[in-house]
């Protein structure tokens, strides 16, 4: 059996982007994550039996607060690479960038990357 962990709308202010002004002034980024993991049939009410949500959040936070990435695709890929050590079967990371120049004509711009680890 499998189980899924979801994070929706993790908010970060950071300086990621291709353009100079995006690297100078912080913008809002929202991150959604979905992880699918194996459910151990010998499960007990013990943290060692599941993926620690706080550790995942801290990995995402560290990436979001790191040196600027030019592309949100690269940002999502780095988060996926960090998540791999928690042994999910599959993970999807969506980076929303609602404060781009395109925001004048849309509510949001986002990129989603998925990776299977099994």
Number of domains in the chain: 1
Please tell me the pTM assigned to this model: 0.91
Q: 32 is written with which tokens? A: 């959604």
Q: In sequence order, what E strands does 1-118 have? A: 2-14, 27-38, 90-96, 110-116
**Alpha carbon of residue 33 to chain centroid:** 5
Segment 43-100, tens digit of pLDDT:
677 777 788 999 999 999 999 999 999 999 999 999 999 999 999 999 999 999 998 8
* 97 is known as an active-site residue: yes
- CATH assignment at residue 77: 3.30.1130.10
Which residues span the domain enclosing 64?
A: 2-116
Task: Give the helix, strand, coil percentages of the chain, each rounded to 5.
Answer: 35, 35, 35
Catalytic residue among 20, 23, 97, 115: 97
């Amino acid at each position: 059996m499998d189980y899924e962990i979801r994070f929706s709308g993790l908010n970060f202010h950071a300086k990621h982007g291709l353009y100079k002004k995006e690297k100078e002034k912080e913008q809002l980024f929202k991150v959604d994550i979905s992880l699918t993991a194996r459910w151990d049939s010998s499960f007990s009410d013990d943290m060692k039996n599941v993926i620690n949500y706080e550790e995942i959040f801290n990995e995402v936070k560290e990436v979001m607060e790191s040196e600027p990435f030019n592309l949100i695709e690269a940002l999502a890929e780095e988060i996926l690479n960090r998540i791999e050590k928690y042994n999910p079967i599959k993970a999807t990371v969506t980076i929303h960038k609602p404060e781009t120049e395109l925001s004048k004509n849309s509510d949001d711009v986002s990129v989603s990357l998925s990776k299977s680890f099994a």
